[in-house]
Amino acid sequence: MAVMKFLRDKRTRRDLLTYALVIAVFAVVYVMQANHMIPRMIAGQLVPICAYVVMALSLNLVVGVAGDLSLGHAGFMSVGAYTGIVAAMGLSEVIPDDGLRLIVAMAVGAASAALAGFLVGIPVLRLSGDYLAIVTLAFGEIIKEIVTCLIVGVDERGLHVLFNLTGSLSVSDLNLAEGGIAIIKGAQGASGVSVISTFAAGFLLVMVTLVVVLNLVRSRTGRAIMAVRDNRIAAESVGISTTRYRMIAFVVSAALAGAAGALFGNGFSQLSATKFDFNTSILILVFVVLGGLGNMRGSMVAAIALTILPEALRQFSDYRMLVYAVVLILVMIISNNDTLKSAAHRVASRFASRRKEVGADA
Amino acid sequence: MPKFEFERGKMVPVPSHSIVPERDVNSAPVLEALHLGIDFGGLKAVDDFNLTIGRTEIAGLIGPNGAGKTTVFNLLTKVYAPTRGTILLNGHDTSGKTVHQVNRMGIARTFQNIRLFDTMTVEENVKVGLHNTKAYSTLSGILRTPSYWKREREAHERALELLSLFDMQDLANHQAGSLPYGAQRRLEIVRALATNPSLLLLDEPAAGMNPSETADLMENIVKIRDTFNIAIMLIEHDMNLVMNICEGICVLNFGRVIAKGTAEEIQNNEAVIEAYLGKQKEA
Amino acid sequence: MSVFLQYLANGLTMGSVYAIIALGYTMVYGIAKMLNFAHGDVIMIGAYISFCVTSYLELPAIVSVLAAVAVCTALGILIEGLAYKPLRQAGPLAVLITAIGVSYFLQNAAQLIWGATPKNFTSIVSFPVPEGLRAYNVSAVGIVTVVACLVIMAGLMWFTGRTKMGKAMRACSEDKAAAQLMGINVNRTISMTFAIGSALAAIAGVLLCSYSPVLQPTTGSMPGIKAFTAAVFGGIGSIPGAFVGGILLGIIEAMAQAYISTSLANSIVFGVLIVVLLVKPAGLFGKYVPEKV
């Protein structure tokens, strides 16, 4: 009885369908991968795709659900990636099992990114609109530069961390004992990372992220966050602390980005800090906007499609990024210009009956 | 110190600036504003505003355009921090409190220019109002613990119950921003009521309504007071509405109170007539 | 002391470049209310045009600057008309993503045309600097940049304050609908603003590359972002604000590089911006307008 009532809710059905679709896609790709049916170029992208999907979902929580334009999301990914790498490398003796170690690394990445998100959120969430955007951009760059200054190594005495402020220090200054390994080498980034991230782990993280984001959005907290987005003053007037709920969205989003970073970082033997610069933040924002604000399924599709697209466009070699740029501009103009939109709809409705979407539906 | 006087033979002292109806005389007032004022860059937008509202009173705040009526609402709900004065809500000082904190202390409001959560459904709008009364933690929301299911069910039922007040339960799944104007105004009232206030502030509730809608609204305001046993203060330009349902009326002009009293007293007050019609030429 | 003055001279030069970009940025933002991420790439295009005219056509420097200005002005009008105008009624995010698309487009087009390898830009100005100034690291480019910046700012102040078109721009940035009712051609005014902003970007590009001669398709992005920061710093929409913001940003950056850390210089610049915005939410010269309830 209760189950029937539960299933009668349109959103619940939508969410369940989303889970089902993700599981189905994973199953198909997994089987194809096991049978070597996936082109090598894309097979190597499976873990990054999962990481980008999680990044897009988490950024959608801030941009789509909370309505705060963040241009520094890659910063949190980088915090998660580096702490995740350090955790995985540092714990290789303690936790010999790769899978378990990856989970711990993702948890560490999530926790440290959440902390970073909280600290960044204190000043950032006092602003809004374009000012907030420019300050998140600034924080993204600050995080990148700070990470570039880090030199981290591990030996039997524990973890060694140097902050290379003047640029004169190098790995030898860590004074590692015999058998110790340098994990992060300043501007060079991390190298010699043992690759432990798998597609299955990526899928798991995507599922966890989906559950967190969708359940959050459907809960009292999610309603409060959306209320703040829709009308800040009205939300305050019904007893909602806008700062608190924007912060919750920001921190949860940062934590998920951190986990994605740990997954991403532990998927490559080598990783430089510039991997997480402003362009990455923008790339993820593009996933979110093209997928639709607040539309979680759209975010995932956009993240997958736009990660594969440049690979697929490789035959156009030099022109591919140009094509990508033109496609981006055209999509934005066609989907946002009223005249063009109605024209496109007229064409579309001739082929299929149109379905109407509601604002913040996933 | 406010001066006290005895009123209508009751042996209870009430502040001189109150027009409390008889049934409230024995209970503490829901709101006391004392010498409230705010300056905007040297201009005294509101000055020396004193008002007491009884527990179940329907009060009216009227005055010409630009008199500072909405500013008073913004001061009472802490949208603006008062430059001077004290606000006591159910006897508690609200100084240093923010908008959402004073809401939890028992004051809720609607807005002159409607402020709904446009992209959310009608039911969700009301549920946002129920935020603090049907509470559970963010974590139990994510993990969907039993308390999540329990509270959500309660919130759903309560939301429909509140919506039925205005016969709006059938609109529950409509998007709030797409509702017709009158329904949006009513939804704002329902959302404010959902926060379980002891004082409800309505900023021009009848604006843009036709006479029959206004008549319904008048009935409903009285009905709300009687069902929820709360005080209501409203800003309104429709004098018919104000004079018919408001037990106490406060008239504001240039940020100052120029008259207070019952409908009858206000209608015959010379200062009020002057404020509205301008000074009459000596014959 | 003399070392300090050298750093100050460097800071002033870079600061003037930032100020010129920021002046264009602040005008465009004031009227279009959009983070125009492509602005930095117009700078880069301007520098490439100037480079081509001097290196390949071997024409005098002044011609190259004029060519850069002409091309960038046309480019600015073109970008506005093709990419931003159809989105006049759309939300800010759509416009932002489009601007990012334009930025990608310009960068990749430049890479196709001129290749990814950096070009060595020869300074457009070279005249002997007096002995006394040279000791403080003052270069000919530095002097020209600072002077150009001052002239441009004064020119813009005059233009927005005195001319009909300038007043129309201010009116449009306040309220487009009201401006339209007053008979102002809003589309033409916006187009004109983009033209001016892009012309300034061209000048900034030439000066930037004369000062630090590495020219590649990504040359413009970071100065573009920093100049926007400078505009926000000074109070977006304000012309003196953009000027002061740009100069301050340049000096802070130079000092941070000199005395704290080269690798953290950007962080320090951004850190100062964050502090300024927290203390003065509308920047140094901006007006804070709270939402009316």
Q: In sequence order, what DSSP letters do the residues of A284-307 get, joined into one string?
A: HHHHHHHH-TT-HHHHHHHHHHHH
Q: Give me the pLDDT at residue A342, please.
A: 76
To the nearest whole angstrom, how far is the Cα of C130 from the nearest Cα of chain A? 34
To the nearest whole angstrom, how far is the Cα of C150 from the nearest Cα of chain A? 26
Q: Please check whether residue B186 lies inside any domain of the structure.
A: no
Helix (H, G, I), strand (E, B) or coil at C127: coil
For the record, the structure tokens of A54 come out as: 């999680």
pLDDT tens, A96-126?
899 999 999 999 999 999 999 999 999 999 8
pLDDT higher than threshold 80 for residue A266: yes
**Nearest-angstrom CA–CA distance, B77 and B106:** 10
Per the document, the length of chain A is 362
Judged by CB atoms closer than 8 Å, whether chains meet at A131 and C281 is answered as yes
Are B105 and B124 within one domain? no
Are B136 and B211 within one domain? no
Q: Do residues A120 and A247 lie in contact, with contact meaning Cβ atoms separated by under 8 Å?
A: no
Q: Please check whether residue C191 lies inside any domain of the structure.
A: yes
Q: Do residues A75 and A144 lie in contact, with contact meaning Cβ atoms separated by under 8 Å?
A: yes
Are B123 and B94 within one domain? no
Question: Among the residues of A162-295, which ranges form H helices?
Answer: 199-217, 220-230, 232-237, 242-265, 278-291
The parts of chain C modelled with pLDDT lower than 70 are 1
Contacts of C293 in chain B (CB under 8 A): 70, 74, 79, 111
For chain A positions 87-126, those within 8 Å of chain C (CB to CB) are 123, 126
For the record, the structure tokens of A39 come out as: 């082109």
Query: What residues in chain B have their Cβ under 8 A from chain C's Cβ atoms?
Result: 70, 74, 79, 111
Per the document, the length of chain C is 293
The topology (CATH level 3) of A14-351 is ABC transporter involved in vitamin B12 uptake, BtuC (1.10.3470)
Q: Do residues B130 and B163 lie in contact, with contact meaning Cβ atoms separated by under 8 Å?
A: no
Judged by CB atoms closer than 8 Å, whether chains meet at A221 and B124 is answered as no
Please provide residue C121's backbone torsions phi and psi, each rounded to the nearest 5 degrees: -80, 125
Q: Please check whether residue C293 lies inside any domain of the structure.
A: no
User: Which region holds residue A162: left if phi is over 0, alpha if psi is between -120 and 50, else beta?
Assistant: beta
Q: Give me the pLDDT at residue B283, please.
A: 43
**Nearest-angstrom CA–CA distance, B20 and A254:** 53
How many domains are contained in chain C? 1
pLDDT higher than threshold 70 for residue B13: no
Are B56 and B161 within one domain? no
Q: Do residues C250 and C12 lie in contact, with contact meaning Cβ atoms separated by under 8 Å?
A: yes
pLDDT higher than threshold 60 for residue B2: no
pLDDT higher than threshold 70 for residue B188: yes
Contacts of C266 in chain A (CB under 8 A): 141-142, 145
CA distances from B257 to B64, B69, B261 (A): 12, 10, 11
Are B25 and B74 within one domain? yes
pLDDT tens, A136-160?
999 999 999 898 888 888 887 778 8
Q: Do residues C9 and C141 lie in contact, with contact meaning Cβ atoms separated by under 8 Å?
A: no
Q: Which domain holds residue C185?
A: 2-279
Listed in sequence order, the residues at least 6 apart from B206 whose beta carbon sits closer than 8 Å to its beta carbon are B213, B214, B217, B236, B238, B241
Q: What is the residue whose two structure tokens read 């949208």?
A: B79
Q: Centre a 10 Å sphere on the Cβ of residue A350 and count the other Cβ atoms it contains.
A: 7
Is the C-alpha dihedral spanning A49, A50, A54, A60 positive or negative? positive
pLDDT tens, A47-63?
999 999 999 999 999 99
Q: Picking from A72-86, A175-189, B247-261, which range would have the lowest pLDDT averaged per residue?
A: A175-189
**Nearest-angstrom CA–CA distance, C27 and C39:** 12
How many domains are contained in chain B? 2
Q: Please check whether residue B187 lies inside any domain of the structure.
A: no
Are B100 and B201 within one domain? yes
Are B109 and B249 within one domain? yes
Q: Do residues C242 and C19 lie in contact, with contact meaning Cβ atoms separated by under 8 Å?
A: yes
Q: Please check whether residue C187 lies inside any domain of the structure.
A: yes
Listed in sequence order, the residues at least 6 apart from B71 whose beta carbon sits closer than 8 Å to its beta carbon are B38, B45, B46, B80, B255
CATH number where C95 lies: 1.10.3470
Are B92 and B17 within one domain? yes
**Nearest-angstrom CA–CA distance, A38 and B238:** 72
Instruction: Establish if C277 touches chain A: CB-CB under 8 angstroms.
Output: yes
Contacts of C290 in chain B (CB under 8 A): none
- ipTM of this predicted structure: 0.89
Q: Give me the pLDDT at residue B17, please.
A: 61
Average pLDDT over residues B103-132: 96
Q: Give me the pLDDT at residue A93, please.
A: 84
Amino acid at A212: V
According to DSSP, the residues that pair with B38 across neighbouring strands are B46
Listed in sequence order, the residues at least 6 apart from C179 whose beta carbon sits closer than 8 Å to its beta carbon are C168, C171, C172, C186, C189
Are B28 and B106 within one domain? yes
Q: Do residues B191 and B128 lie in contact, with contact meaning Cβ atoms separated by under 8 Å?
A: yes
Are B125 and B108 within one domain? no
Q: Where are the domains of chain A?
A: 14-351
Q: Do residues A236 and A33 lie in contact, with contact meaning Cβ atoms separated by under 8 Å?
A: no
CATH number where B104 lies: 3.40.50.300
Q: Please check whether residue C164 lies inside any domain of the structure.
A: yes
pLDDT higher than threshold 70 for residue A321: yes
Q: Which residue of C has its CA nearest to B80?
A: C293
Are B124 and B64 within one domain? no
pLDDT bracket for residue B202 (50, 70, 90): very high
Q: Which helix (H) or strand (E) holds C255?
A: helix C239-255
Nearest C-alpha neighbor of C15 from the set C275, C284, C218, C207: C207
Q: Picking from A322-326, B160-164, C249-253, which range would have the lowest pLDDT averaged per residue?
A: A322-326
Q: Which residue of C has its CA nearest to A328?
A: C101
Q: Please check whether residue C93 lies inside any domain of the structure.
A: yes
pTM: 0.89
Average pLDDT over residues B10-35: 73
Please provide residue B12's backbone torsions phi and psi, each rounded to the nearest 5 degrees: -120, 130
Q: Centre a 10 Å sphere on the Cβ of residue C142 and count the other Cβ atoms it contains.
A: 23
Are B12 and B89 within one domain? yes
Question: Among the residues of chain B, which ranges form H helices?
Answer: 69-76, 99-104, 122-129, 138-143, 146-164, 181-194, 211-228, 239-245, 263-267, 270-277
For the record, the structure tokens of B61 come out as: 């705040």
**Nearest-angstrom CA–CA distance, A188 and A274:** 9
Q: Please check whether residue B184 lies inside any domain of the structure.
A: no
Q: Which domain holds residue B207?
A: 4-115+195-277
